[in-house]
Amino acid sequence: MINVITIEGPTASGKSALALALAENLGSQIISADSRQVYRYLNIGTAKPNLEEQRRVRHHLIDIIDPSQSYNAGAFTKDARIIIENLNQKGIVPIVCGGTGLYIRALLQGLFELPEQDPALREYLQNRLKTEGLNSLFAELQQLDPDFAMKISPNDPQRILRGLEVALGTGIPLSEHWRRQNRATRLTAFRILIDPLRAWLYKRIDQRMRLMIENGLLDEITELLKMGYDFHSPGLNSLGYKEFIPAFENRASLQDCTDLAAQHHRNYSKRQVTWYRKCSFDLTLDSSAITISEMIRRFEVEYSEAKKCKLWPK
């Protein structure tokens, strides 16, 4: 029995539109696997489904924490599994949609349990971050755990520190822990990848960034700052928001910050594509050339064999 459908792909590739169409077609619900859409008040910069889309199809795991809070793959896995189990019991196969690959991998393959970390080690690494800088720590992570380092951004202090914590604290790289994890709790999934041409994707990313500005992204950030959050808050210290710090501090123009945000989204999409090349999918689509209706048609054709094998509920 299939427990879940996943729709994966790089940012701006059309995942949300496909998920919405499929959910309506199948009478399903959507579970967001986006590490930023969990935040309340961060709507425009996270490309969160609007209210009309949420009325059309029930969405889960969006707007569940404040921008000052943190969320991770472990919390996502726990929350998503509860939702999936509840929906499966009702005969519903939910659609997990999002580009946070680590979340979906943790959901489908399970999470390992690490020994409790030494607070002194975390403090030691934090002090090194202040004195040596992020580049130095990332270079060390590349030596200790090249596989994990390749999958994350060199500008992501949280994951860099986590990788070093695990490697130094346990003597085993984080990537090796993943390989050794218990696979007994895996879900059975039908995985769909949207893999557009790079030129089309980059153009779409640039267009979407401009639309975010036109739709009030700067006003959204202003309101968050008025609410007492700042750019050190986990929510605002994320892709699509932190790039505008110089504009708010009068150190750069809005256009320069917009261009930087678009560039960072393009860089992020490239890392996502690299991640997906190491995954296996049941159906791969090119969103630059296929309409949503054609995506659904191909999905149904591919899934006819699964239905014959009684993997899909009647």
The span from the CA of 96 to the CA of 193, in Å, is 12
Using DSSP's 3-state secondary structure scheme, residue 235 falls into coil
The DSSP call for residue 94 is -
CA distance 304 to 284: 16
Structural domains present in the chain = 4-111+182-308 (3.40.50.300), 119-180 (1.10.20.140)
pTM of the model: 0.75
Query: In whole angstroms, what is the distance from residue 258 CA to residue 195 CA?
Result: 25
Which alpha helices (H) appear in the chain, and where do they start and end? 15-26, 51-56, 73-89, 101-109, 119-132, 134-144, 146-151, 157-170, 174-180, 198-214, 217-226, 245-248, 254-276, 292-308
Of the candidates 209, 199, 208, 175, the one whose C-alpha atom is nearest the C-alpha of residue 270 is 199
Task: Determine the pLDDT at residue 311.
Answer: 44
Structure confidence by residue, pLDDT tens digits, 50-84: 999 999 999 999 999 999 999 999 899 999 999 99
- Find out whether 29 and 49 touch, Cβ atoms under 8 Å: no
Sheet holding 189-194, edge to edge: 59-60, 30-32, 95-97, 4-8, 189-194, 283-285
Per-residue pLDDT reduced to its tens digit, 264-310: 999 999 999 999 999 999 999 886 445 556 666 666 665 555 444 44
CA distances from 172 to 20, 115, 289 (A): 41, 11, 44
Report mean pLDDT in 10-residue bins for the chain, 314 residues. Answer: 92 93 93 97 97 97 97 94 96 96 90 72 93 95 95 91 92 82 70 94 96 97 97 95 96 96 97 94 74 62 51 44
Residues with Cβ within 8 Å of 136's Cβ and at least 6 positions away in sequence, in order, are 128
